[in-house]
Amino acid sequence: MPVRSFTPAELSLTERKRLEQPLLVMIWLGVILFALVEARLFYAVAGTLVVGLNLMVVRRGKEVFLKRFFVNIAVLAATAVLLLEIFLKGLPALVALGHYLILIQLCKLFERKRNRDYVQMIALSLTTVVAAGLISQELPFAVLLVVYLVLAARVTMIFTLKRGLDAAAAARLPVEPAPLPPDRVAWNVIRHWPGSALRRRLALVLAVVVATAVGTFFLVPRTGAGPALLLDRFEVEAAGGGIGDRIVLGEAGTVHLSDQVVMTVRFDGDSSPAGPLYLRGEVYERYEDSSWSRGPGTNRAAETSHTDPPDRTDRNAVTKRVSMHPSLLPTAYAAYPAVELATEGGSIRQNTLLSTQISTDEFSSRPVRYTATSWLPPLDHAQRRYLSEVRDIPTERLAGASPYVDVSERAGDLAAQWFRDMLNRQDEDSDRAVARYIEQRLRREYEYTLDLPAARRGRDAVDEFLHHHRRGHCEYFASAMVILCNALDVRARLAVGFLAQERDERTGEYVVRRRDAHAWVEVFTPETDWIIFDPTPGDQADAAAGGWRRRLGELWASMQFAWHDRVIGYDARTQQAIVGRLREGAAEAGRSVRTAVRRLGRSLHRLLAEGYLDRGAAGLLGMLLFTAAVLWVIIVVRFSRRRLWLRRSMDDPRLGAQYRLRCILELIDELEQRGLQQHTDWTLRRRAAEAAERFQLPEDVLMELVSLHYRLRWGGHVPDETEVRSAELSVRDLRRQIAA
């Protein structure tokens, strides 16, 4: 072998960098995934340190390893940790197993690795990630899982090639004293490292994997909800969610509003009301000592899975489908009092204030779905009577001030002052007009803030808001209005829930975030039942505005909710619904096609019988013309591509020669058509010999042509023009002889 420098091909036989760097990153990602899922910093830090050290060593082209004995001792220690965690600390087996797998991987990084060890490490890392997947369903985990799978696919592909290379390099026949030197093997197996081809193949493989995964996800029959996962962070959050029994005012501090999406609301049909949507969760009627609580008798609740008003009317009914974050349980939110409510997999309790609670059998990270039907105001007489029956309180008893609202003397004075002011400005003094006046005045004269000052000791929080601080958030505004209304003998109460303002214009879906939590006022009048007033100034929306970071945060929060709602929450019912919709769609399409065919038949009949070209026949003709045009374009494009390919081939000396010398193969084909025996296992040379004997052709000429074909096709030979021309002439002569 001549003296030369090593090619990358030869180096790739011994180089470990190509495999080890992505492998180390993959192992690190697996460790981080599990540590993130379980929220343990120790394993994340340990994994980062160990993998970082190994990466540094690999990058410097060195190899640091311990004796296998010490590695085995470390593995034994990891086993002891596993047993301790299970039996002494009582950790769940899956979590302990994850720790064990992580420790083993970190130990094995320090041993001298053979291909078997690489297989083990890939398998261990994959098992760790699968274990993490059995624990968590979070979107960040899913995103990292995708990255991990891409990396794992790449590592495995490289490793598969490396194994083949190693096998070729280590192959030794029993009669050989030693394997061939790597440079000789390299010439025989590889020209250059196929980096770009690997990337393309990886993209293809990922496309197939994604398609299969999506198909499996949607098509595998679901049977219903199974047991909850081992650790579900949503479950943990759910324990502290929902709206409490009391609202306490007067506490100092800054209120932080999260962008987390907690609910999506979609109205059926075109019944979506315009403007912001007040989604009521709870109402509070009793106010004393700066705190709100539910009124008396509200705990008389009927447990039902479905409330059905006997004489409801559909005139102004709207039905909305709500997907709600489980942390908001047990409260169910509805725009206007829900008169009909149905949920999946849970029971409903509704109290006399028409506040609804849902209790589910299990907590999970899946959003709770329910359907609520409400009546849009104004209500008719029958609807008002039904609501009155549900409340179990005569309408007359709701007139006048609420006996449960403790109005302070100063608040009463202020209310009287405002009432006088109102009378100076307008003549109307109905309950509704009073409430409207107070609402507008609060909006105008008071300031919205999330940074709350503390109420002075012994002072009522609403009094402090009205007379001293003159700023606060929605609960203060609503509380103040309720108290002022009641001071003027107008029945009012505090309602708490969400104010949905973010509406997807395309789908008509409202997206509700935690920051949309809101309090407002419901005022009772016999003519309208309870109606909504919102005294909070519009600065709330401005407070939610922000830059691109905020927008990114909102997007991420929306994605998280959609992930849990659409992906994690995909269950048997959703599957059946999709199947039902598909069936309906197919049936609808079938009907449309049948109708169109029928119409077309009539049109054609009219065209043929009466010579009248109506719209249907014209459409058919247009469609035919369009199809013909598309076909013509396809043919032209294909022909042009062929021409282009031919031109490029002719420019390339080798491809051009191949194209011109295809006449050799055509000659053999012609001979076969003329009776030459066809044996698929015969080589071209043998066929040529047979042909020469059978057709009395000059064997040397035929063999020369076949030899030229072999050299051109297999040997990388680039014939010059003379050679090609000579071969073409020979083929022409032979054809003449055959024809003769």
Partner 1 sequence: MSAHRQPRDNGIRFRLTRPGWVFAAMTVSLGLAALRTQQSMIFIMLGSFLGAMVASVWLARRMVSGTEVQRDVPDRVWQNQPVHLGYFVRNIRRRGAALGLGVEEVAPKGMVAAEGFCVHLPPQAAFRAGARFAARRRGRLLLGGVRIKTVFPFGLLLAGRDSHQPREIIVWPGRGRLKSNLLHQGASQTSARPPSRSGGGQDEFFGLREYRQGDSPRWIHWRRSAGRRVPVVREMAQPMPDVLWLVLDTRRDSYDDRRRRDMERSLRFAATLVEQAFARGYQVALAMGSLRGPVVIPPAAGRGQRRRVLDALACADENTTVGLDRILEAIEGRRMQNARVVVLTRGGEPTEGMAVLRNARQGLTVLDEARLEDVFTDQTEAEVR
Q: Which of residues 638-677 bind partner 1 (CB under 8 A)?
A: 665, 668-669, 672
User: Which among 174-182, 289-297, 512-520, 634-642 is the span making contact with partner 1, rule CB under 8 A?
Assistant: 174-182
Q: How far is the CB of 263 from partner 1 (least distance, A)?
A: 20
Q: Give the residue with the Cβ less far from partner 1, 173 or 252.
A: 173
- The dihedral sign for the CA sequence 33, 34, 37, 40: negative
Q: Looking at 205, 433, 701, 703, which residue binds partner 1 (CB under 8 A)?
A: 205
Q: Looking at 61, 240, 269, 716, which residue binds partner 1 (CB under 8 A)?
A: 716
Rule CB under 8 A: say whether 163 interacts with partner 1. Answer: yes
CA distance linking residue 342 with residue 358, whole number of Å: 10
Q: How far is the CB of 151 from partner 1 (least distance, A)?
A: 13
Q: Give the residue with the Cβ less far from partner 1, 607 or 665.
A: 665
Rule CB under 8 A: say whether 159 interacts with partner 1. Answer: yes
DSSP string, 271-302: -PPSS-EEEEEEEE-EEETTEEEPPTTTT--E
Span 543-572, contacts to partner 1 by CB under 8 A: 567-572
Angle at CA 373, nearest 5°, toward 371 and 377? 150
Q: Give the residue with the Cβ less far from partner 1, 50 or 139.
A: 139
For residue 6, how far is the Cα from the chain centroid? 48
User: Which among 205-213, 297-305, 341-349, 593-601 is the span making contact with partner 1, rule CB under 8 A?
Assistant: 205-213
Span 219-258, contacts to partner 1 by CB under 8 A: 220, 222-227, 229
Rule CB under 8 A: say whether 375 interacts with partner 1. Answer: no
- What are φ and ψ of residue 459, in 5° steps? -100, 150
Closest C-alpha to 401, from 523, 283, 496, 529: 523
| 404-422 b/e (C-beta count within 10 Å ≥ 16 → b) | bbbbbeebeebbeebbeeb
Q: How far is the CB of 148 from partner 1 (least distance, A)?
A: 10
**Which tokens sit at 45?**
């830090």
Size of the site for partner 1 (CB under 8 A): 85
Between the alpha carbon of residue 264 and those of residues 317, 360, 368, the distances in Å are: 19, 19, 11
Task: Specify the DSSP class assigned to residue 45.
Answer: H
Q: Which amino acid is at 241?
A: G
Rule CB under 8 A: say whether 722 interacts with partner 1. Answer: no
Rule CB under 8 A: say whether 157 interacts with partner 1. Answer: yes
Span 511-540, contacts to partner 1 by CB under 8 A: none
Q: How far is the CB of 411 from partner 1 (least distance, A)?
A: 53
Sheet with strand 334-335: strands edge to edge: 334-335, 277-284, 492-500, 517-525, 529-533
Q: How far is the CB of 156 from partner 1 (least distance, A)?
A: 5
Q: Looking at 4, 61, 90, 216, which residue binds partner 1 (CB under 8 A)?
A: 216
Q: How far is the CB of 444 from partner 1 (least distance, A)?
A: 50
**Which tokens sit at 718?**
């680039």
CA distance linking residue 447 with residue 470, whole number of Å: 6
Is residue 334 within 8 Å of 374, Cβ to Cβ? Answer: yes
Closest C-alpha to 237, from 413, 378, 365, 80: 365
Span 87-146, contacts to partner 1 by CB under 8 A: 119, 123, 126-127, 130, 133-134, 136-137, 141-142, 145
> Do the strands 471-472 and 502-504 form a parallel or antiparallel pair, or are they unpaired?
unpaired
Q: Give the residue with the Cβ less far from partner 1, 315 or 641.
A: 641
**Which tokens sit at 633?**
């374009």
User: Which among 154-162, 341-349, 471-479, 482-490 is the span making contact with partner 1, rule CB under 8 A?
Assistant: 154-162
Q: Looking at 41, 88, 175, 545, which residue binds partner 1 (CB under 8 A)?
A: 175
**Which tokens sit at 725?**
């021309």
**Which tokens sit at 393?**
């309180």
Q: Give the residue with the Cβ less far from partner 1, 131 or 243.
A: 131
Q: Looking at 165, 390, 697, 702, which residue binds partner 1 (CB under 8 A)?
A: 165
